[in-house]
């Protein structure tokens, strides 16, 4: 099963994923945890991850379209070298990814959410990988109020140089996520929206219940 966790920086994705992975492993499951942007530093593809880190320090050095292409290229590498292999060759029970296509849409802030989604579906990483596409079985969308998100970010003792939130207003990002999932087509994988203000234990249990329901339907 392919599970993606989405949400603005500071909502608690890392904490939830860590708890969820531990719970699944405790159930004797084979679990792969991954994230985007994908670190392809030693893969010989031009090091898109390092390029992304450089770009995020100064967005003016690259056009919005070129930035989107850089992220999409990174995503395509991640898809072909990690996700496909994990779900097919390695026979993982669960692959849990921190960010995926929705993030590419949400962070392309020069376009409306509708335009960015259409652009991604026509020209993005998933379009290029259509012959081998493996859509996620479940999207987990974590939401949190702007005030709570800001408080959590202020308390952080670390930074995320590879994540775009460092230079984009989390209020804007949160609203774009909401807009994206409001217009989420019914034919797409299901979305579990979680109020991240609750305890991580409660959130983890809700995720496990959603996973169980999906597995029963297969």
Residue 94 near residue 30 (C-beta atoms within 8 A): yes
Q: What is the pLDDT of residues 33-60, one digit of tens each?
A: 999 989 988 776 568 888 888 887 777 7
Tell me whether residue 145 is exposed, middle or buried, using C-beta atoms within 10 angstroms of its C-beta: 0 to 12, 13 to 18, 19 or more.
middle
Domain that holds residue 124: 2-217
Q: What is the mean pLDDT of the chain?
A: 84
pLDDT bin (cut points 50, 70, 90) of residue 128 is low
Burial 105-119 (b: 16+ CB within 10 A, else e): bbbbeebebeebbeb
- The answer to whether residue 162 scores a pLDDT higher than 50 is no
Structural domains counted in the chain? 1
Of residues 133 and 72, more confidence is placed in 72
Output 164 or 22, whichever has higher pLDDT: 22
pLDDT of 28 above 60: yes
Assign 17 a pLDDT band (cuts: 50, 70, 90).
very high
pLDDT of residue 55: 83
Residue 101 CB partners (closer than 8 Å, separation 6+): 75, 120, 124, 125, 126
When pLDDT is averaged across residues 3-12 and rounded to a whole number, the result is: 92
Question: Under a CB-based contact definition with an 8 Å cutoff, are residues 113 and 69 in contact?
Answer: no
Over residues 121-133, mean pLDDT: 62
Cβ atoms of 122 and 104 within 8 Å: the answer is no
Percent of the chain with pLDDT over 90: 39
The pLDDT score that the predictor gives to residue 218 is 75
User: 108: domain CATH number?
Assistant: 3.40.50.300
The three-state secondary structure class of 98 is strand
């Amino acid at each position: 099963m392919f599970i993606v966790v989405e949400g603005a920086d500071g909502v608690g994705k890392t904490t939830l994923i860590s708890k969820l992975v531990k719970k699944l492993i405790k159930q004797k499951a084979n679990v792969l945890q991954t994230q985007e942007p994908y670190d392809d530093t030693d893969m010989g593809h031009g090091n898109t991850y390092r390029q992304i880190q450089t770009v995020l320090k100064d967005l003016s050095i690259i056009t919005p379209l070129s930035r989107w292409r850089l992220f999409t290229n990174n995503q395509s590498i991640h898809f072909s070298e990690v996700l496909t292999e994990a779900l097919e060759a390695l026979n993982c029970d669960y692959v849990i990814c921190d960010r995926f296509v929705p993030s590419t849409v949400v962070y392309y802030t020069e376009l409306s959410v509708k335009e960015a989604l259409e652009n991604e579906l026509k020209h993005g990483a998933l379009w290029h990988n259509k012959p081998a596409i493996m859509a996620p079985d479940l999207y987990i969308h974590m939401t949190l109020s702007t005030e709570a998100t800001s408080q959590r970010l202020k308390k952080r003792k670390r930074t995320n140089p590879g994540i775009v939130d460092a230079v984009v207003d989390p209020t804007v990002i949160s609203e774009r996520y909401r807009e994206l999932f409001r217009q989420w087509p019914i034919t797409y994988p299901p979305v579990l929206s979680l109020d991240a203000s609750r305890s991580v234990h409660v959130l983890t249990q809700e995720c496990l219940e959603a996973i169980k329901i999906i597995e029963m339907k297969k």
